[in-house]
Structure formats: C-alpha cells, structure tokens
Amino acid sequence: MNYRFIIQYDGTRYDGWQRQKTTANTIQGKLEAVLSKMVGEPVEIKGAGRTDAGVHAKGQVANAHLPEGRTSVEIRNYMNQYLPEDICVMEVSEVSERFHSRLNAGEKIYQYRISTNMVKNVFEHKYIYDLNCSLDVKKMKEAAEYLSGEHDFQSFCAKKMKKSTVRRLSEIRLEQMPGELKITYRGNGFLYHMVRIMTGTLIEIGLHERIPQDMEKIIRAKERARAGAVAPAKGLTLLEIRY
C-alpha cells in the first residue's frame, strides 16, 4: 500500500532532507529508521522537496510503500512516538499506487523570513535571518518582477546542471510586517540553492548595493557569479506542495 505523509520539521539540527551515506542525521534518514522499525524491513520514503541543511518545513510531502495491516492514524501515532521532537508527521493517508510525491508535484511554495528589526528576535531566531537593518522593499518589489514568470534560472543555481535550468516562478510576494520582511515564492520547481540565491540578490537590492534593473541582466547572463550571495538556510521554510 502506498501512503502519503505531510511532515513538519525544524531543520536546525539536521543535514537536510536527503539520506546520505556519510551521516545518519537527515530528515529522510530519521523517517526511514522509524518506518523500518515499525514494519521490520527496510523502507524508502520519497520526499517532494529536498530541503538543504538547516531549512525547515511546514508542509513537506513524502510517500512510501508499506505492508498493509495498520490504519493511517496508527502509522502517524507510531511515527510521532519515535521521531525526535523537531520532526512531526501531521497526516498520513492512503494514496494510489502510482502516486510519487516528487514526480507528481505541481507547485512548491517556499517562504523566506528576514528580520529588519534593530534588535534580535528571541523567540524566532532559529527561523529568521537576522539582517537587523531596514530594507528598501519598494526597490525589492521592482526587482522581483523580473524574476516572475518562466526563465532560465542558471544564474541562481549553485550547481552545474546537465538538465534544463528553465523554471516557472508563478508568484513572488514580498510582505513587510513590523520588524520583518516575508518573501514567498511559488513555482513549478526550484534549482539547488535557487530560493536562497534569489533572496540574497533581492537583499542586496534592498540595501541599495544594486539597482532593480540589475536583476534582468543577472537572469540574462546565466552565470552564477553574477547573482548575489546565498542567504542563510535558517530563514527558509518549505510551506506547501501542490498537486
């Protein structure tokens, strides 16, 4: 039977989503260990978004094939009992045998949080990038318009890719709240570090280190070196996967 999982995690302590040979300290590794323990044989769980080390998730989606004999609620409760307190299974449901969390994903929504307060944030410091200075959000919004739509995002990819680097960014929304700027990205796929490099570049524009029109040139260049610095992982959260 194929099951779909909706998972939340605080990524602070982990080496990212993806299972690695060199470390057991990944989200996928922790989930697989608990599922394997439950069913008594090796289990593979496939995640929709391969979040980096330190990145959080409120709505990661994954799927795994498990032997029958347990209800969805029993599986959820078993997993939450044995998972560490910073990983939680919100929902388990039976899905069609053919469902694949990553290949069937339509759009992904990521959110990046930046503290623009002069003082640090005591309660949210694990989930927000402490820039601690104000940003010209108007200029950032101007620059964000160039990113919106379908482009070759090679300049915003930290890896050389053999496959296509064309992606569609359906929405990029900047919300200024008291002491905090939230940037929400919705798109059909994101390259390695793409959200964090777009964010880092937008921050440089918000600090007047670049002008909004630079964004168009950066996209056209298709060269990583032209874009801004990669923003820290801790400000990033995978919010939702849409199917």
Which of 33, 46, 86, 216: binder of a second copy (CB under 8 A)?
86
Residue 52 among the catalytic residues:
yes
Asked if 8 is part of the footprint of a second copy (rule: CB under 8 A), the reply reads yes
Which of 4, 10, 26, 190: binder of a second copy (CB under 8 A)?
10
Asked if 87 is part of the footprint of a second copy (rule: CB under 8 A), the reply reads yes
Which of 3, 4, 5, 9: binder of a second copy (CB under 8 A)?
9
Give the residue among 160, 144, 137, 131 at the shortest CA–CA distance from 198: 144
173: left (phi over 0), alpha (psi -120 to 50) or beta: beta
Give the residue among 70, 86, 73 at the shortest CA–CA distance from 5: 73
Give the residue among 226, 238, 231, 166 at the shortest CA–CA distance from 196: 231
Q: Tell me the torsion sign for CA atoms 112, 115, 121, 125.
A: positive
Q: Are the C-beta atoms of residues 73 and 36 closer than 8 Å to each other?
A: no
- Cα angle value 56/196/134 (rounded, 5°): 100
Asked if 225 is part of the footprint of a second copy (rule: CB under 8 A), the reply reads no
Residue 180-199 contact track with a second copy, rule CB under 8 A, x = bound: --------------------
Asked if 72 is part of the footprint of a second copy (rule: CB under 8 A), the reply reads no
Which residue is catalytic, options 52, 130, 152, 214?
A: 52
Asked if 13 is part of the footprint of a second copy (rule: CB under 8 A), the reply reads no
Considering beta carbons, is residue 56 or 196 the nearer one to a second copy?
Answer: 56
Asked if 134 is part of the footprint of a second copy (rule: CB under 8 A), the reply reads no
Q: Are the C-beta atoms of residues 154 and 224 closer than 8 Å to each other?
A: yes
Residue burial 6-33, b: 16+ Cβ < 10 Å; e: rest: bbbbbbeebbbbebeeeeeebbbbbbbe
Considering beta carbons, is residue 115 or 201 the nearer one to a second copy?
Answer: 115
Considering beta carbons, is residue 132 or 176 the nearer one to a second copy?
Answer: 132
- Cα angle value 48/95/104 (rounded, 5°): 35
Asked if 61 is part of the footprint of a second copy (rule: CB under 8 A), the reply reads no
Cα–Cα distance, 62 to 121 (Å, whole number): 32
Residue 88-127 contact track with a second copy, rule CB under 8 A, x = bound: xxx----------------------------xxxxx-x-x
Q: Which residues bind a second copy (CB under 8 A)?
A: 8-10, 56, 58, 76, 80, 85-90, 119-123, 125, 127
Catalytic residues: 52
